[in-house]
Amino acid sequence: MDRKGILVVVSGFSGSGKGTIMKELLRRYDNYALSISATTRSPREGEEDGREYFFKTREEFERMIAEGALIEHACYVENYYGTPRAYVEQQLGLGKDVILEIEIQGALQVKERFPDTLLLFVSPPDAQTLKKRLVGRGTESMEVIESRLARAVEEAQGIESYDYFIINDDLDACVDEVHRLIQGEHSRVSRSMELINEIRTELKEFQ
């Protein structure tokens, strides 16, 4: 029996640990495909074009929008971010569970276009831990950190749009939970209607 891939969105405040969780999830399991976004923000130290992001100029990004090459896009703290369509469609076709690590405006666009998307929201146990992690990561200036914390206030208002709220305290436990929720989603009745109808037809043959 073919198992269809699930489209999964993982959102969370900047510094909540999304990137760290995704890295560990992909290291442990091989049925996940992580979409690589396009962005106009500059690469952080150690980031490579085509690995963490496809780094684009504003003009290049706007051309991608115009060509319909993105499933969704949004502006986040003065930069564009968006999900290239081709990879997502290809990987879902191969039966992979495809993960989009994106912010809330993009998440809502994806849910509208693909209503059976699973939406996960990751949070640190408390706000102090968030600030500590962002500062500790050491990749942004204090000014950008303040903007990201301000954005977190807005994002916190949108959490009800998500299916699950996941605390990233102990990393291992958090990765387990993300995996369990995605795998559990495969058993949802609405995702197996084809098979259910086949079984119904077969059962009638006993009558």
- Only segment of 11-19, 50-58, 75-83, 183-191 that touches ligand ADP (CB under 6 A): 11-19
Partner whose binding site includes residue 106, from ligand 5GP, ligand ADP, none (CB under 5 to 8 Å by kind): ligand 5GP
- Only segment of 1-9, 10-18, 187-195, 196-204 that touches ligand ADP (CB under 6 A): 10-18
* Amino acid making up residue 117: T
Q: Which residue has the tokens 């959490």?
A: 159
| Binding status of residue 91 toward ligand ADP by CB under 6 A | no
Q: Which is nearer to ligand ADP, 37 or 168 (CB)?
A: 168
Residue nearest to ligand 5GP (CB): 106
Q: How many CB atoms lie within 10 A of CB 131?
A: 18
Nearest to 28 by CA among 129, 131, 175: 175
What's the min distance (Å) between Cβ of 192 and ligand 5GP? Answer: 30
Helices 142-156 & 127-137 angle (0-180, nearest 10): 150
**Cα–chain center distance at 118:** 9
| Binding status of residue 74 toward ligand 5GP by CB under 6 A | yes
**Residues 155-160: contacts with CB within 8 Å, 24+ apart?**
155/11, 155/13, 155/103, 155/104, 156/13, 158/104, 158/108, 159/121
Binders in 42-71 for ligand 5GP, by CB under 6 A: none
Residues that bind ligand 5GP (CB under 6 A): 14, 18, 37, 41, 72, 74, 76, 81-83, 101-103, 105-106
Residues of the shown chain interacting with ligand ADP in the complex, contacts defined by CB under 6 A: 12, 14-20, 133, 136-137, 168, 171
